[in-house]
């Protein structure tokens, strides 16, 4: 390939031509690698996400493994947006245990649902969960979210988490709901309405 260059070419010009030649020779391998969500380098992941049309409000809050999972599921999520299946699939990206109960399953008010999010660790990214629910749910459904954190945390940590959640969600109503053991579990219920 460098034979096409004039004899007085600089080393930089020759290197550019050689690297271009390498890309042309290995384009099938490079394209297959970039289009594979699991093999795509992290710096190119955002372009793959853009091409498949992910919701970047959610995408930007995820870590690398969650981003790859979200890109994989994004076409199905978009295709079924506003359904219970899409909400389940979108929330599964977080890695938390999710339980969704619709109004007809427990005899609640029509067009309501209850989402219970559980994590064995002391941390749940409630902002991320609420953002996913708001972006994926249908417009008319009011969703009540219960966040349950099971840990060996002491009561002071639980109170600190409660205060933090109340500060972050000033536009949502949050009331603490205590489960079996106040020292081991803490739950919050929030009502999310579409604006």
- Tell me: the pLDDT tens digits for 25-40? 777 777 788 888 998 8
Domain borders along the chain are 9-79, 84-195
Instruction: Return the number of other C-beta atoms located less than 10 Å from residue 13's C-beta.
Output: 13
- DSSP code, position 175: E
Angstrom CA distances, 114 to 47, 49, 97, 143, 183, stand at: 35, 30, 14, 6, 24
Mean pLDDT of the chain: 76
Assign 15 to helix, strand or coil: helix
**pLDDT in the model for residue 168:** 39
Q: What residues pair up with 192 in beta bridges, in sequence order? A: 143
**pLDDT in the model for residue 183:** 36
Instruction: Return the number of other C-beta atoms located less than 10 Å from residue 9's C-beta.
Output: 13
**pLDDT in the model for residue 191:** 47
**Bridge pairing between strands 185-192 and 173-177:** antiparallel
**pLDDT in the model for residue 69:** 94
pLDDT surpassing 70 at residue 187? no
**pLDDT in the model for residue 122:** 61
- Give the model's confidence band at 161: pLDDT under 50 very low, under 70 low, under 90 confident, else very high: low
Please give the residue that has the higher pLDDT: either 101 or 149.
Answer: 101
**pLDDT in the model for residue 2:** 56
Alpha helices (runs of H) in the chain, residue ranges in sequence order: 11-25, 27-35, 42-52, 56-59, 64-79, 84-92, 103-106, 126-136, 155-168
Phi, psi of 168 (to 5 degrees): -65, -40
- Give the model's confidence band at 171: pLDDT under 50 very low, under 70 low, under 90 confident, else very high: very low
Compute the average pLDDT of residues 97-121: 87
Q: What's the pTM value of the predicted model, to 2 decimals?
A: 0.64
d(Cα 188, Cα 118) in Å, to the nearest integer?
A: 11
Compute the average pLDDT of residues 83-88: 91
């Amino acid at each position: 390939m460098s034979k096409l260059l004039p004899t007085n070419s600089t080393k930089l010009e020759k290197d550019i031509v050689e690297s271009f030649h390498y890309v042309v020779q290995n384009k099938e391998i490079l394209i297959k690698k970039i289009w594979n969500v699991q093999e795509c380098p992290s710096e190119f992941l955002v372009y793959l996400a853009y091409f498949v049309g992910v919701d970047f409000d959610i995408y930007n809050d995820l870590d690398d493994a969650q981003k790859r999972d979200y890109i994989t599921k994004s076409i199905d999520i978009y295709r079924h947006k506003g359904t219970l299946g899409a909400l389940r699939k979108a929330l599964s990206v977080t890695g938390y245990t999710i339980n969704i109960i619709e109004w007809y399953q427990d005899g609640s008010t029509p067009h309501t649902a209850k989402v219970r999010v559980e994590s064995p660790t002391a941390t749940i990214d409630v902002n991320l969960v609420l953002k996913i629910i708001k972006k994926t749910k249908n417009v008319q459904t009011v969703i009540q979210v219960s966040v349950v954190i099971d840990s060996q945390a002491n009561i002071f940590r639980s109170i600190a988490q409660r205060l933090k959640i109340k500060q972050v969600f000033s536009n949502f109503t949050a009331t603490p709901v205590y489960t079996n053991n106040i020292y081991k579990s803490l739950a919050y219920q929030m009502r999310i309405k579409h604006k």
